[in-house]
Amino acid sequence: MSYLQTPDGARLRFVDFGAGPDTIVLVHGWKGSHRLWQPVIAGLASEFRVVAFDNRGMGESDRPGDRYDFDLLADDLGFVIERLGLAGVTLVGWSMGCSISLRYLERGGGGVARLALVAGPIRLESCEGFPWGLAPGKLDGYLDDLTSNWPRAELEFARGAVGDPGDPFTDFYYRVALQTELVDSIRIVREQARLDFRPLLPRLELPVLAAYGRHDRDYDIGLAEYIAERAADGRRVIFERSTHPVHHCEPQRFREVIGDFARGRL
Protein backbone atom coordinates (compact mmCIF):
# COMPACT_ATOMS: atom_id res chain seq x y z
CA MET A 1 0.00 0.00 0.00
CA SER A 2 1.13 3.55 -0.73
CA TYR A 3 0.79 6.40 1.75
CA LEU A 4 1.77 10.05 1.91
CA GLN A 5 2.50 11.52 5.34
CA THR A 6 1.22 15.04 5.88
CA PRO A 7 3.21 17.69 7.76
CA ASP A 8 1.11 17.02 10.88
CA GLY A 9 1.88 13.31 10.73
CA ALA A 10 -1.30 11.85 9.24
CA ARG A 11 -1.00 9.11 6.63
CA LEU A 12 -3.12 9.46 3.49
CA ARG A 13 -3.71 6.35 1.42
CA PHE A 14 -3.31 7.09 -2.29
CA VAL A 15 -2.95 5.51 -5.70
CA ASP A 16 -1.16 6.96 -8.71
CA PHE A 17 -1.58 5.26 -12.09
CA GLY A 18 -0.80 6.11 -15.69
CA ALA A 19 1.62 8.56 -17.22
CA GLY A 20 -0.27 10.58 -19.79
CA PRO A 21 0.43 14.25 -20.49
CA ASP A 22 -2.70 15.26 -18.53
CA THR A 23 -3.47 14.56 -14.88
CA ILE A 24 -6.81 13.80 -13.23
CA VAL A 25 -7.23 13.91 -9.45
CA LEU A 26 -10.31 12.15 -8.04
CA VAL A 27 -11.81 13.23 -4.70
CA HIS A 28 -14.39 10.85 -3.26
CA GLY A 29 -17.43 11.62 -1.15
CA TRP A 30 -18.71 11.18 2.40
CA LYS A 31 -17.57 7.92 4.01
CA GLY A 32 -15.97 6.84 0.76
CA SER A 33 -12.51 5.87 -0.39
CA HIS A 34 -10.41 5.72 -3.54
CA ARG A 35 -11.73 2.20 -4.10
CA LEU A 36 -15.10 3.54 -5.23
CA TRP A 37 -13.27 5.00 -8.24
CA GLN A 38 -11.69 1.69 -9.35
CA PRO A 39 -13.32 1.34 -12.81
CA VAL A 40 -12.78 5.06 -13.50
CA ILE A 41 -9.10 4.74 -12.66
CA ALA A 42 -8.70 1.60 -14.74
CA GLY A 43 -10.47 3.16 -17.71
CA LEU A 44 -8.60 6.48 -17.70
CA ALA A 45 -5.08 5.41 -16.72
CA SER A 46 -4.20 4.33 -20.26
CA GLU A 47 -4.44 7.95 -21.41
CA PHE A 48 -4.01 10.06 -18.27
CA ARG A 49 -2.10 10.14 -15.05
CA VAL A 50 -4.82 9.41 -12.48
CA VAL A 51 -4.40 10.10 -8.75
CA ALA A 52 -6.94 9.22 -6.08
CA PHE A 53 -6.63 9.22 -2.31
CA ASP A 54 -8.66 8.55 0.82
CA ASN A 55 -9.74 11.70 2.62
CA ARG A 56 -8.56 11.92 6.19
CA GLY A 57 -10.84 9.94 8.50
CA MET A 58 -12.15 7.78 5.66
CA GLY A 59 -11.09 4.62 3.88
CA GLU A 60 -7.55 3.60 4.74
CA SER A 61 -6.27 7.05 5.74
CA ASP A 62 -5.62 8.04 9.34
CA ARG A 63 -8.33 9.44 11.57
CA PRO A 64 -8.36 13.16 12.38
CA GLY A 65 -7.54 14.57 15.79
CA ASP A 66 -9.52 17.27 17.56
CA ARG A 67 -9.81 19.33 14.38
CA TYR A 68 -11.91 17.97 11.53
CA ASP A 69 -13.18 20.49 9.03
CA PHE A 70 -12.99 21.39 5.36
CA ASP A 71 -9.93 23.56 5.75
CA LEU A 72 -8.11 20.44 6.92
CA LEU A 73 -9.45 18.32 4.06
CA ALA A 74 -8.62 21.06 1.56
CA ASP A 75 -5.10 21.24 2.98
CA ASP A 76 -4.78 17.48 2.51
CA LEU A 77 -5.86 17.80 -1.12
CA GLY A 78 -3.31 20.56 -1.64
CA PHE A 79 -0.64 18.47 0.03
CA VAL A 80 -1.30 15.56 -2.36
CA ILE A 81 -1.10 17.86 -5.38
CA GLU A 82 2.09 19.51 -4.19
CA ARG A 83 3.81 16.38 -2.87
CA LEU A 84 3.25 14.51 -6.14
CA GLY A 85 4.33 17.52 -8.21
CA LEU A 86 1.03 17.79 -10.08
CA ALA A 87 0.14 20.71 -12.32
CA GLY A 88 -2.61 21.49 -14.81
CA VAL A 89 -4.86 19.10 -12.90
CA THR A 90 -8.41 18.24 -13.85
CA LEU A 91 -9.93 18.04 -10.37
CA VAL A 92 -12.96 15.75 -10.10
CA GLY A 93 -14.99 15.95 -6.90
CA TRP A 94 -17.90 13.59 -6.30
CA SER A 95 -20.56 14.27 -3.64
CA MET A 96 -18.71 15.61 -0.56
CA GLY A 97 -15.65 15.68 -2.79
CA CYS A 98 -17.27 18.71 -4.47
CA SER A 99 -17.19 20.58 -1.16
CA ILE A 100 -13.55 19.65 -0.56
CA SER A 101 -12.55 20.70 -4.06
CA LEU A 102 -14.43 24.01 -3.86
CA ARG A 103 -12.96 24.79 -0.45
CA TYR A 104 -9.49 24.13 -1.83
CA LEU A 105 -10.05 26.57 -4.68
CA GLU A 106 -11.78 29.11 -2.44
CA ARG A 107 -8.65 29.24 -0.30
CA GLY A 108 -6.46 29.88 -3.33
CA GLY A 109 -5.30 26.34 -3.95
CA GLY A 110 -3.06 25.95 -6.99
CA GLY A 111 -2.21 23.35 -9.57
CA VAL A 112 -5.77 23.00 -10.89
CA ALA A 113 -6.71 23.83 -14.49
CA ARG A 114 -10.24 22.40 -14.61
CA LEU A 115 -12.94 21.47 -12.10
CA ALA A 116 -15.60 18.78 -12.48
CA LEU A 117 -18.35 18.80 -9.86
CA VAL A 118 -20.11 15.43 -9.83
CA ALA A 119 -23.41 14.96 -7.98
CA GLY A 120 -22.49 17.16 -5.05
CA PRO A 121 -23.72 20.24 -3.23
CA ILE A 122 -22.94 23.91 -3.55
CA ARG A 123 -24.81 24.45 -0.31
CA LEU A 124 -25.86 21.33 1.59
CA GLU A 125 -29.36 22.47 2.61
CA SER A 126 -31.95 24.38 0.63
CA CYS A 127 -32.86 27.92 1.62
CA GLU A 128 -34.90 30.80 0.23
CA GLY A 129 -33.90 31.35 -3.37
CA PHE A 130 -31.89 28.13 -3.49
CA PRO A 131 -33.98 24.94 -3.78
CA TRP A 132 -31.09 22.74 -4.89
CA GLY A 133 -30.00 21.33 -1.52
CA LEU A 134 -31.38 18.87 1.00
CA ALA A 135 -34.74 19.76 2.47
CA PRO A 136 -34.34 21.58 5.81
CA GLY A 137 -34.28 19.03 8.63
CA LYS A 138 -33.45 16.08 6.38
CA LEU A 139 -29.84 15.99 7.51
CA ASP A 140 -30.75 16.06 11.20
CA GLY A 141 -33.26 13.27 10.68
CA TYR A 142 -30.75 11.14 8.84
CA LEU A 143 -28.04 11.63 11.45
CA ASP A 144 -30.46 10.77 14.26
CA ASP A 145 -31.41 7.60 12.42
CA LEU A 146 -27.78 6.80 11.66
CA THR A 147 -26.88 7.02 15.34
CA SER A 148 -29.92 5.09 16.56
CA ASN A 149 -29.96 2.35 13.91
CA TRP A 150 -26.34 1.87 12.88
CA PRO A 151 -25.26 -0.10 10.89
CA ARG A 152 -28.64 -0.80 9.29
CA ALA A 153 -29.13 2.90 8.59
CA GLU A 154 -25.78 2.87 6.79
CA LEU A 155 -26.99 0.05 4.59
CA GLU A 156 -30.23 1.88 3.84
CA PHE A 157 -28.26 4.99 2.92
CA ALA A 158 -26.25 2.97 0.39
CA ARG A 159 -29.39 1.40 -1.03
CA GLY A 160 -31.03 4.80 -1.44
CA ALA A 161 -27.97 6.36 -3.04
CA VAL A 162 -27.42 3.56 -5.55
CA GLY A 163 -31.12 2.99 -6.16
CA ASP A 164 -30.87 -0.77 -6.69
CA PRO A 165 -30.50 -2.95 -3.56
CA GLY A 166 -29.57 -5.91 -5.77
CA ASP A 167 -26.64 -4.12 -7.41
CA PRO A 168 -23.37 -5.54 -5.99
CA PHE A 169 -22.05 -1.98 -5.83
CA THR A 170 -24.62 -1.27 -3.10
CA ASP A 171 -22.99 -3.76 -0.74
CA PHE A 172 -19.53 -2.51 -1.68
CA TYR A 173 -20.56 1.10 -1.05
CA TYR A 174 -21.91 0.06 2.35
CA ARG A 175 -18.79 -1.83 3.36
CA VAL A 176 -16.52 1.05 2.38
CA ALA A 177 -18.68 3.40 4.48
CA LEU A 178 -18.14 1.19 7.54
CA GLN A 179 -14.45 2.08 7.42
CA THR A 180 -15.30 5.59 8.62
CA GLU A 181 -15.88 5.96 12.35
CA LEU A 182 -19.47 6.98 13.04
CA VAL A 183 -18.38 9.92 15.18
CA ASP A 184 -16.22 11.22 12.32
CA SER A 185 -19.03 10.80 9.80
CA ILE A 186 -21.25 13.01 11.92
CA ARG A 187 -18.55 15.56 12.68
CA ILE A 188 -17.61 16.21 9.09
CA VAL A 189 -21.10 16.42 7.62
CA ARG A 190 -22.03 18.90 10.35
CA GLU A 191 -19.10 20.98 9.13
CA GLN A 192 -20.27 20.60 5.55
CA ALA A 193 -23.65 22.07 6.48
CA ARG A 194 -21.84 25.33 7.36
CA LEU A 195 -20.47 25.80 3.84
CA ASP A 196 -22.00 27.90 1.08
CA PHE A 197 -20.15 28.14 -2.23
CA ARG A 198 -22.74 30.15 -4.15
CA PRO A 199 -20.61 33.33 -4.06
CA LEU A 200 -17.55 31.40 -5.24
CA LEU A 201 -18.97 30.08 -8.51
CA PRO A 202 -18.72 33.31 -10.57
CA ARG A 203 -15.22 33.93 -9.19
CA LEU A 204 -13.76 30.65 -10.41
CA GLU A 205 -11.30 31.44 -13.18
CA LEU A 206 -11.23 28.00 -14.76
CA PRO A 207 -13.58 25.75 -16.75
CA VAL A 208 -16.24 24.14 -14.54
CA LEU A 209 -18.24 21.03 -15.46
CA ALA A 210 -21.40 20.06 -13.57
CA ALA A 211 -22.18 16.34 -14.04
CA TYR A 212 -25.34 15.06 -12.35
CA GLY A 213 -27.59 12.01 -12.51
CA ARG A 214 -31.20 12.27 -13.61
CA HIS A 215 -32.35 9.97 -10.78
CA ASP A 216 -30.21 11.23 -7.89
CA ARG A 217 -32.46 11.28 -4.82
CA ASP A 218 -30.72 14.25 -3.18
CA TYR A 219 -29.33 16.51 -5.92
CA ASP A 220 -31.79 17.51 -8.61
CA ILE A 221 -30.42 18.07 -12.11
CA GLY A 222 -31.50 21.69 -11.74
CA LEU A 223 -28.36 22.14 -9.67
CA ALA A 224 -26.26 21.30 -12.74
CA GLU A 225 -27.97 24.11 -14.63
CA TYR A 226 -27.48 26.45 -11.68
CA ILE A 227 -23.73 25.74 -11.62
CA ALA A 228 -23.30 25.98 -15.39
CA GLU A 229 -25.11 29.33 -15.52
CA ARG A 230 -23.25 30.93 -12.62
CA ALA A 231 -19.72 29.72 -13.27
CA ALA A 232 -17.82 32.11 -15.52
CA ASP A 233 -16.90 29.22 -17.82
CA GLY A 234 -19.51 26.59 -16.99
CA ARG A 235 -21.09 23.64 -18.74
CA ARG A 236 -23.26 20.72 -17.68
CA VAL A 237 -23.80 17.07 -18.56
CA ILE A 238 -26.80 15.06 -17.38
CA PHE A 239 -26.46 11.30 -16.99
CA GLU A 240 -29.93 10.08 -17.87
CA ARG A 241 -29.66 6.58 -16.38
CA SER A 242 -27.80 7.51 -13.20
CA THR A 243 -28.53 7.91 -9.52
CA HIS A 244 -25.95 9.40 -7.14
CA PRO A 245 -22.85 7.37 -8.15
CA VAL A 246 -22.92 8.38 -11.80
CA HIS A 247 -19.44 6.97 -12.37
CA HIS A 248 -20.83 3.54 -11.46
CA CYS A 249 -24.22 3.82 -13.18
CA GLU A 250 -22.81 4.93 -16.54
CA PRO A 251 -19.11 4.11 -16.32
CA GLN A 252 -18.21 4.25 -20.00
CA ARG A 253 -19.94 7.55 -20.62
CA PHE A 254 -18.53 8.99 -17.41
CA ARG A 255 -15.00 8.16 -18.48
CA GLU A 256 -15.62 9.66 -21.90
CA VAL A 257 -17.04 12.87 -20.45
CA ILE A 258 -14.22 13.33 -17.94
CA GLY A 259 -11.63 12.47 -20.58
CA ASP A 260 -13.05 14.98 -23.06
CA PHE A 261 -13.26 17.65 -20.34
CA ALA A 262 -9.64 17.02 -19.30
CA ARG A 263 -8.53 17.40 -22.93
CA GLY A 264 -10.43 20.65 -23.32
CA ARG A 265 -12.92 19.17 -25.77
CA LEU A 266 -16.03 19.75 -23.69
Q: Long-range pairs for 179-184 at CB < 8 Å and ≥24 separation?
A: 179/31, 179/33, 179/58, 179/59, 179/60, 180/31, 180/57, 180/58, 180/59, 181/57, 181/63, 182/146, 182/147, 182/150, 184/57, 184/58, 184/63, 184/64, 184/68
Please report the beta strands in 123-169, taking only residues with DSSP state E, as ranges in sequence order. Answer: none
* Percentage of residues of the chain with pLDDT beyond 90: 96
pLDDT, position 84: 97
- For the chain, domains (ranges, CATH) are 3-262 (3.40.50.1820)
Q: If pLDDT is split at 50, 70 and 90, which confidence band does 20 have?
A: confident
pLDDT (average), residues 193-212 = 98
Crossing angle between the packed helical segments 70-83 and 182-192, to the nearest 10 degrees: 100
pLDDT, position 143: 96
Q: What pLDDT digit, counting tens, does each position of 211-230 carry?
A: 999 999 999 999 999 999 99
Q: What pLDDT digit, counting tens, does each position of 42-95 carry?
A: 999 999 999 999 999 999 999 999 999 999 999 999 999 999 999 999 999 999
The answer to whether residue 1 scores a pLDDT higher than 80 is: no
pLDDT, position 9: 97
Taking the CA atoms of residue 261, residue 53, residue 247 and residue 44 in that order, the dihedral angle to the nearest 10 degrees is 50
